[in-house]
Structure 1
Amino acid sequence: MVNREDEFLEDALYIRQLAQKHNKFFEESIPLIASENIMSPMAMEMLLTDFGFRYAEGLPHKRYYQGNYYVDQLEDRVMDLGRELFKSKYVDPRPLSGTNSNMAVLYAFTKPGDLIATPSLSGGGHISSASFGAVGFRGLKTVNYPFDIDEMNIDVDGTIKLLKQNKPKVCWFGQSVFLFPTPLKELNDVFNEIGATVVYDGAHVLGLIAGKQFQDPLREGAEIITGSTHKTLPGPQHGIIIGETSEDKWKKVQRGVFPGTLSNHHINAMAALGITLAEHLQFGEDYAKQIIKNAQLLGEELNKYGFKVLGEKNGFTKSHTLAVDVSAQGGGKYVAETLEKAGIILNKNLLPYDDNKKSQNPSGIRIGTQEITRIGFKEDDVKHLAELINDIIMKNKNIEKMKSEVAEFKSKFTEIQYCFGKFRPYQYINIYK
């Protein structure tokens, strides 16, 4: 048998080098993807623990595996922290992602052929609520809420009419482009009239909700909040379901999680989530305030430079997200790729008036301020960021020169904020010797 140990070691080292280069790339870049963030040092530490190698099927103290003495205590505490943070009756921290959370809730409250109401993709809806996402996987029919482009939000009068006519079993809210709070209060009467279960996908704005700076869905008409936990809530790539509903409905949600849509859940990520929840109870309000302040200021500055930032009449945004029409600057694909070459990382994005077929070359870009806020950006830094974007896109300055300027500017930000402990952002954690 041929000994290929050196060859396989070379493969392993190559993968390791890719990870190191990736860290270095982000260390020198400005991250503006609205669906990403970085964790605190204590939360990162949890991903390296033995929790990550174990199984814990079922609920605490009712497991199908032995060896879960400490896991049960962990999960109990994470649920306690989640209930305190979101002022909710129920929390399930087992889902593996936001989409997995959505699938579990759909499994709980629908059966194939049921009708649900959702935001459209061009109106900011998440792909899991589209016909080719989790909704389609469950075999559901959908109707989309009408969208008011001027308000950059759901059209309330049109939605009331749509819900009365169609009487969906579930009214699903929440977006991937989420500029302003959803008008749940205005729709409450029609929810009650048609007897629909109201679910709010809060993945993007979960940290803003928890920081008391966005809206409070459970007090405004929603029974269930789903979400991923790594956006404005700066935790691990994981999922969570939060409930203020009946015990019977919550049991359906729990069954939707296990055995409905997962077997084992990732215990190390749950531990990281627990630490994130504790940190957010301590620092979340200040963090959320600064995220929104930075987003609104960035919108104002880009608008001054001639960019078409949507939502101007309402202050551009009340969340972490900006939507910018860059069709006059070459389109979303060109602008996103050009900025990436200079070290500014954001994504192309459909806008409400785009056809879904334009997804690979839409009119817009999407910008998020949660990660730059996490590493210490304040108002003056946001103004300089807007200037850099203007120099790259509007003034067409030399890309290599701008890349150097971006890296030099980024080097100022040397510590993760709003958390316990100190750690340099994007540092590679070296274990292999």
Structure 2
Amino acid sequence: MNTSSERSQDRARLAVSDPDILLALQGEEARQRAGLELIPSENYAFPEVLTLLGSAFTNKYSEGYPGRRYYGGQEFTDEIENLARSRAKSLFRAEHANVQPLSGSPMNQAVYLGLLEPGDTILAMDLSHGGHLTHGAPVSHMGRIFRFVRYKTDPANGAIDFEALRKVARETKPKMVVCGYSSYPRDYDYADFKRVADEVGALTMADVSHIGGLIAADVMRNPLDAGFDVMTTTTHKSLRGPRGGLIVCKEKFAKQIDASVFPGLQGGPHMNQVAAAATTFRLAALPAFRAYAAQVLANAKALAGALTARQVKLVTGGTDNHLLVLDAVQTFGIDGAKAQAALDRVGLTTNKQVIPDDPLPPMRPSGVRLGTPAATARGMGVIEMDEIAAIIAETLGADGDAGAEAALAARTLALTARFPVPGL
């Protein structure tokens, strides 16, 4: 493990070999310290994760699986991958785990390509209602390889319209039903999806990339408990691990999934990432992480309540998880891109977001997406959520007034100064 002196020496070497990159690194660190990350897919990795990502495991090539590698010198890489797999299975109550996916998109692609045939029908969530690109968006490669059909939310309350979903399933006979989301602020009853899939003989897959940490901590429902065949999650976001993917599944699909990841889709895994994931799974099993995950949910509800009290319209009216989506057009008369830019100027990092059946284009959508994992990792609680809601509402209502934004940026800085960024 690098000492403070060794890290200083590394910085000194970088200052000589590539000062431009060092300046960019220092700038990013300063941005993260002074500002507040409110994008729900972003978080601060555990300090141990940062150490392992820069470790000697970065140097090792490990094509294959433990005990079946194509290169020598695998004593310790086999050890960390076996630990990562066993810890992931224990954490999520799974029969099998593959820890090699390099990120979320290839993770989902490996499942489709391993269990289905090109041209097969997949029933998945509509992108504008909260789904992800890998759930069959026309611009994605998966949307060209497989036939995706859609389900949506009920415009009256934001719930999944299961009668409409069942009707589509009966008409199209999908080979797989996918549930999971990128911007849906509610929880699922996975048993409802399982019943629909069983009716039409479809496999079930849950992409819980956003809420994997909340499921690991048992503060949100686990799809595997409802009998799902496959569950995927990224290992960063709410898990606070390295950027990467995880596939857990029933044992009967283990060989197909493993072969689809390697050699089907990827070459050698990133063993520094695997080591960091193994440590993440261990930390996520501890009581402190369960308390963190519970606070993430409490903070999200507090933020939603504080925004609603300030007459901000939220998609579905609130949240059951770590994220919420505000309608900037209806509340403030500006689109999500302008809202994102204004919040950037006061030190709040968010992302523009489409809302259900959004009439505006994706680069200028109606909404803004917010989340609480990163703020919670800094130690913020429900009291701070009220101040954050006030800064958001006042910024978006300021109509670009430079003086007002300068005062609001000072409030953000005063808030973040009290809560250091873990690992920096």
User: Whole-Å Cα distance in 1 between the matches of residues 17 and 307 of structure 2?
Assistant: 44
1:407 & 1:352 partners in 2: Cα distance? 34
Picking from 326, 329, 345, the partner of 2:328 is 326
8 A contact 1:156–1:183 mirrored in 2: no
Q: Identify the match of residue 133 of structure 1 among 140, 146, 166.
A: 140
Give the drift of 1:226.
Answer: 0.9
Higher helix share: 2
Deviations 1:205-263 (A, max 9, x none): 101111111111012242111121111111111110011x242x221011110011110
Instruction: Calculate the TM-score normalised by the size of structure 2.
Output: 0.92
TM-score under structure 1 length normalisation: 0.90
> 2:149 aligns to what SS in structure 1?
strand
Contact 1:210 1:284 in 2 (8 A): no
Determine what percentage of the aligned residue pairs are the same residue.
28
Q: Work out whether 1:49 is the aligned partner of 2:72.
A: no
Question: Is contact 1:214–1:318 with CA below 8 Å preserved after alignment?
Answer: no
Residue matched to 1:158: 164
- Report the CA distance between 1:10 and its aligned residue: 7.7
Task: Report the residue type matching 1:232 in the other structure.
Answer: S
Residue by residue over 1:321-380, the C-alpha shift from the partner in whole angstroms, topping out at 9 and shown as x without a partner, is 00111103111111111000110000010001304x610111111001000001101111
Q: Deviations over 1:127-157 (max 9, x none)?
A: 11223224225x1111001321233232111
* Aligned equivalent of 2:24: 18
> Residues of 1 paired with 2:68 and 2:159: CA distance?
43
Write out aligned runs for 1:72-87 (5 A). Answer: 72-87=78-93
Aligned with 2:374 (options 368, 371, 375): 371
Counterpart contact for 1:99–1:134, Cα < 8 Å: no
Task: Please state whether the residue corresponding to 2:279 is helix, strand or coil.
Answer: helix
Give the superposed CA RMSD: 1.7
Give 1:294's aligned residue.
Answer: 299
Q: Which moved more, 1:8-17 or 1:329-338?
A: 8-17
Q: In the alignment, residue 395 of structure 2 is paired with which amino acid?
A: I
Distance 1:97 1:308, change over 3 A: same
SS in 2 for 1:225: strand
Q: Which runs of 5 or more residues in structure 2 are unaligned?
A: 1-13
Q: Which stretch of structure 1 is more off in the superposition, 406-415 or 187-196? A: 187-196
Quick check: 1:252 aligned with 2:259? Answer: no
Q: d(CA) in 2 for partners of 1:370 and 1:146? A: 26
Q: Does 1:88 align with 2:94?
A: yes
Is the counterpart of residue 62 in structure 1 residue 68 in structure 2?
yes
Residue matched to 1:143: 149
Q: Distance in 2 between matches of 1:342 and 1:408?
A: 12
Change (3 A) 1:9 1:32: closer
**How far apart are 1:415 and its partner, in Å?**
5.5
Counterpart of 2:393 in structure 1 is 390
Question: Alpha-carbon deviations, 1:150-196, whole Å to 9, x = none?
Answer: 33232111101111111111111111013122232123333112111
Q: Does the 8 A contact of 1:326 with 1:364 survive in 2? A: yes
Contact 1:131–1:141 (CA under 8 A) maintained in structure 2: no
**2:174 aligned with 1:168:** yes
1:285 Cα deviation (Å)? 1.6
Matched, 1:201 2:224: no
- Letter aligned with residue 292 of structure 1: L
Spell out, residue by residue over 1:249-298, the C-alpha distance to the aligned partner (whole angstroms, 9 max, x if none).
22101111001111011110111111111111002321111000000010
Does the residue aligned with 2:233 lie in a helix, a strand or coil?
A: strand
Deviant stretches of 4+, over 4 Å: 8-11
